[in-house]
Amino acid sequence: MLTERKKEFIEFMMFADVLRFGSFVTKSGRTTPYFVNTGNYKTGEQIAKLGGFYAALVSETVGDRFTAMFGPAYKGIPLATATAAALYTNYGISKPYFFNRKEAKDHGEGGSLVGYKPMDGDRIIIIEDVITAGTAVRETMPILSACGDIRVNDMFISVDRCEVGKTAGKTAIMEVKEEFGLQVHAIVDVRDIHDFLADSGEYGEILPAMEAYMERYCVL
């Protein structure tokens, strides 16, 4: 259902040039009529608002029932940082966060993780941008598993593209839930974006491409 908050978030992404329409190739190799690039957030106002959207979703779903949040390099780093700040500012929830380096540091404190150091028994949530085919999730989970006996039950993303993964009839999100026990929470999904465009009456040229893509690749 397209709520006012979802409309606000879609408008926010479009204004920031994060949600774009045209012809793009995703990490999974699919040619898509829309693309979400959180790397285009570039101002203090934008990152503060973005953190607020993520924090609201975290607060509504898991509240303070987690130990720390993890932002996978690179785009997950500012997302986790902004979410941590907004959780404290807006909800009084102060939680540590951490992220990984693409290459392990061999001097100073060393290692591949920066920030909070996970411990046995921790419950970690992941803050990411988008899931298309689940590739990034499968790269992230071994990093966290190597931290010790921790639980990773929840992941928060900007957009659920609702796309089929490696198995016919199953989205990538369904697959990662089965594979890792990971519940993925999205601020909006592809249906919300489609409905927003349809309701606005200004994007008639985009809708056919969106609908064709959704019919081919999405499980709704």
Q: Is 107 a catalytic residue?
A: yes
Q: Are 132 and 159 in contact (CB under 8 A)?
A: no
Count of beta carbons in the 10 Å neighbourhood of residue 82: 24
- H helical segments located in 62-171: 76-91, 135-145
Q: Residue 116: which residues within 8 A CB-CB, separation 6 or more?
A: 68, 96, 97, 98
3-state secondary structure of 214: helix
Reported as half-sphere exposure (CB side, CA atoms, 13 A), residue 42 has a value of: 7
- Alpha-carbon distances of 195 from 31, 103, 124, 130, 156, rounded to whole Å: 21, 41, 33, 19, 22
Q: Which residues contact 13 (CB under 8 A, 6 or more apart)?
A: 19, 36, 158
Our answer to whether residue 105 is catalytic in this structure is yes
Does a cis peptide bond (omega within 30 degrees of 0) precede residue 116? no
- Cβ count within 10 A of residue 45: 10
- Catalytic one of 7, 107, 166, 194: 107
The one catalytic residue in 49, 105, 166, 194 is: 105
Residues designated catalytic = 105, 107
